[in-house]
Amino acid sequence: MAAAPDNLLVADKVRKEFGGLVATDDIDFTIPHGSIVALIGPNGAGKTTFFNQITGVYVPTSGSIVFDETQVVGKPPHAIVELGVGRTFQNIRLFAQMTAIENVLVGMHCRLKGGIISSVVRTPRVRREERGARERARELLTYCGLPRRHEEYAGTLPYGDQRRLEVARALATSPKLLLLDEPTAGMNTQETAAFTAFVRQVRDEKALTVLLIEHDMKVVMGVSERITVLEYGAVIAEGTPNEIQANERVIEAYLGRGTAA
C-alpha cells in the first residue's frame, strides 16, 4: 500500500511476536499530516511496542511502516530520527550528567555536520555551525518554558523542567512527527493543563504532527483529534474522542464486561 499523500505515517499490518507472544497483532494505523493522534489502551496492550517499531528499536516480524513516503522497517533508529521522527520517553531519559543546553545540542546531533577532523581543526564552517546551534538551542529551551538554568546539569532540574527539557531535546531533532510517551505522567492537574495547551501550540507553530501515548483520559480527550485503542496488541476501535467515549468495546476493555451498561 502506497502512502496516501495526506497521511504522514501509514502502518500496514504491523506484527511483532516475541516467541509465542503476539505483542502487536497486524496493526493498521494512519496518522494524517498535522494531526494530534492518541494511542490508548490498558497496560500491556502493545502501545509502547508499537512506538518502538516506529522508532526502529524493534523490527516488526511482518508488516510495513511508511513514514513520509519512506519505508522505515529495517532502518536503524538514528536513520529514522534523521527522516523526522522525534520522541520523548515515558520514564524521563535525559543525559543527566550533561547540562540542559548540551542535551538539546545532542538532539541536534544528526542535523549538524562537524566531522572529527573538521571539529579538531575548527574550520570556519564548524565554528559558524556550533555558534548557530547554541543559539538555536537557547531559543528552543526558552520556547519550551526553560528561559533560565541552561548550564545546569539535567539531573538536577526539577521534575517539570526535566519533562520540558525532554520536549526541547526532541524538537531539536527537527521532527515532522513528535512521539510523546505518557508526557503528563507525574504532573499535577495544573501542569497537565498547561502541557496540553503547549502540545497544541507546538503543533500549530512548528507545523508538526503529534502521536501520543497517554493514560490520563482528560488529556487524551482534550488534546487529540483521533484516537486509536489497542487491546491485546490489536486495534479494537478508532475514531474521534466522542466516538471513542461512546464505543462499547472500549468501555468494556477499560472497565470490564458487565459494567458497560
Partner 1 sequence: MATAVAALHRVRASSLIDAIGLLLLGSVLLWLVVKFFEDPTRFINVGIIGVTNGAIFGLVALGYTLVYGILQLINFAHGDVFALSGLVASTIILDVLGLGEDTSVIFVVLGLLATLAITMPLFALVNASIERIAYKPLRHAPRLAALITAVGMSFIVQNVSLALYGVDYESVPSFIPRTDAIHVGGIVIQWNKLSVFFIVIPVLLVMTWFVRSTRQGKGMRAVAQDTEASAMMGINVDRTISVTFLLAGSLAAVAGLVYLLQFEVRYDTGFELGLIAFTAAVLGGIGNLTGAVLGAMVIGCVQAFNEGLDGTPGGDWTRSIVFGILIATLVFRPEGILGERTPEGA
**Cα distances (angstroms) measured from residue 149 to each of 99, 104, 146, 156, 158:** 9, 13, 7, 10, 11
CB 197 within 8 A of CB 106: no
Q: Is 16 in the site for partner 1 (CB under 8 A)?
A: no
* 226: nearest Cα among 36, 16, 3: 36
Angle at 173 between CA 5 and CA 114, to 5 degrees: 120
Instruction: Report d(CA 1, CA 66) in Å as an integer.
Output: 9
Least Å distance between CB 112 and partner 1?
5
258 grid coordinates: 458487565
The per-residue DSSP string of 91-125 comes to S----TTSBHHHHHHHHHGGG----HHHHHHT-HH
Least Å distance between CB 114 and partner 1?
4
Neighbour-count burial of 122, counting CB atoms closer than 10 A to its CB (0-12 exposed, 13-18 middle, 19+ buried):
exposed
Q: Of 9-17, 32-40, 108-116, 143-151, which part binds partner 1 (CB under 8 A)?
A: 108-116
Q: Which of 81, 100, 180, 187 binds partner 1 (CB under 8 A)?
A: 81
Least Å distance between CB 157 and partner 1?
15
Q: Name the DSSP letter for residue 204.
A: H
Q: Is 214 in the site for partner 1 (CB under 8 A)?
A: no
Q: Is 95 in the site for partner 1 (CB under 8 A)?
A: yes
Residues in contact with partner 1, total (CB under 8 A)? 32
Q: Is 183 in the site for partner 1 (CB under 8 A)?
A: no
Number of H helices, E strands in the chain: 10, 10
Q: Is 112 in the site for partner 1 (CB under 8 A)?
A: yes
CB 105 within 8 A of CB 172: yes
Nearer to partner 1, 192 or 209 (CB): 209
Q: Which of 17, 25, 26, 82 binds partner 1 (CB under 8 A)?
A: 82
Q: Is 77 in the site for partner 1 (CB under 8 A)?
A: yes
Nearer to partner 1, 83 or 217 (CB): 83
CB atoms within 10 A of CB 22: 16
Q: Of 26-34, 80-88, 198-206, 228-236, which part binds partner 1 (CB under 8 A)?
A: 80-88
CB 179 within 8 A of CB 80: no
Instruction: Report d(CA 33, CA 9) in Å as an integer.
Output: 8
Q: Which of 106, 185, 193, 251 binds partner 1 (CB under 8 A)?
A: 106
Q: Which of 5, 43, 97, 158 binds partner 1 (CB under 8 A)?
A: 97
User: In which element (H, E) is residue 152 found?
Assistant: none
Q: Is 116 in the site for partner 1 (CB under 8 A)?
A: yes
Q: Of 109-117, 137-145, 192-200, 221-229, which part binds partner 1 (CB under 8 A)?
A: 109-117
Q: Which of 22, 98, 193, 236 binds partner 1 (CB under 8 A)?
A: 98
List of residues contacting partner 1 (CB under 8 A): 55-57, 76-78, 81-82, 87, 89, 93, 95-98, 102, 105-107, 109-112, 114-116, 119-120, 130, 169-170, 173
